[in-house]
Amino acid sequence: MMAVGFNLQYGVARVLNISHGEFIMLGALAAYTLYVTFGINPLVSLVICAPILFIIGFLIHRTLFERLRRLSETMEVFEGRSLLVTFGVLFMIQNVALLAWGPELRGYTFLVSPVNLLGAIFALNRLVVLGFAVAISLAFFLFLMRTHLGKAIRGATQEMTSAQLVGINIHWMHGLCFGFGVLLAGLAGILMSTMFSASPFMGLPYTIIAIIVVVLGGLGNILGSLVGGLILGLIGSIVLYIEPALQLVVFYMLFMLIVLVKPKGILGK
């Protein structure tokens, strides 16, 4: 989910959003607060937080990146400037989270009862998260494939100039895609909070993982992000079982291998 969101932001809006993981962090800490303080089920928090996350992302793009695009001479200049801006957004969000929640790890217990599935024992929360993550990702994939707005987004991804010629408002598409990216990142954070502790410093490693998944699956290819995320998750689980300290090392090695051998990714065109 977080890789699909990152793919939308960079594949369509051309914003290499280094602050992407901070929205994962915000979603996780928001779910923690709603559950611990108000007793709201984290799965209900998905519905509560979704519109707020989208509006935050849309407004950030309209106020920061849309103006930056107008002031940039070329797309390459815009991408470089937006990269620097997202570093600023990262530190702003991180420090706001530090003021609101403090530096401590925050976690809660949710659906931890064991489930025997074909002889393997899983915590129930992991199966629930798997189901919701797959359902949300597939629903978003169908939205892109079957709706007029989804076709407009895909058109803007494939050929920006031609999309404008047939009447697609590129500026709105960029804002919508950035908003959807923040939305998916926040929802991923909410689901993660049911399994792992959260802190204001958790965002950047997830941003790096999202970048690797996007490169693995193919830039601008939403289905590629889903496939790449599944492959990276399986590889990470195997490495974690053998030697936990090598997980990120293997991720970076895989990243470099894909860039050298097939830079467009598994499903990239």
What is the Cβ-side half-sphere exposure of residue 151, based on CA atoms within 13 angstroms? 5
95-120 average pLDDT score: 88
Within 13 Å of residue 210, how many CA atoms lie on the same side as its CB? 33
pLDDT of residue 42: 92
| pLDDT for res 30 | 94
Tell me if residue 243 falls in helix, strand or coil. coil
The structure tokens listed for 13 are 């809006």
Within 108-186, strands assigned E span 114-117, 120-123
Instruction: Give the pLDDT confidence of 135-183 residue by residue, as tens digits.
Output: 988 888 888 888 888 888 877 777 777 777 787 887 788 888 899 999 9
pLDDT in tens, 29-40: 999 999 999 999
pLDDT at 70: 86
pLDDT digits (tens, 9 = 90+) for 173-187: 888 889 999 999 999
Confidence of residue 120 (pLDDT cuts 50, 70, 90): confident
What lies within 8 Å, CB to CB, of 131 at 6+ separation is none
Q: What is the pLDDT of residue 179?
A: 92
Please state, for a pLDDT cut of 70, what percent of the chain lies above it: 99
CB 162 within 8 A of CB 155: yes
Please state the rounded mean pLDDT for residues 189-215.
Answer: 90
The pLDDT, as a whole number, for residue 269 is: 61
pLDDT band at 72 (very low <50, low <70, confident <90, very high): confident
Provide the sign of the torsion angle of the four alpha carbons 36, 29, 248, 10, taken in this order: positive
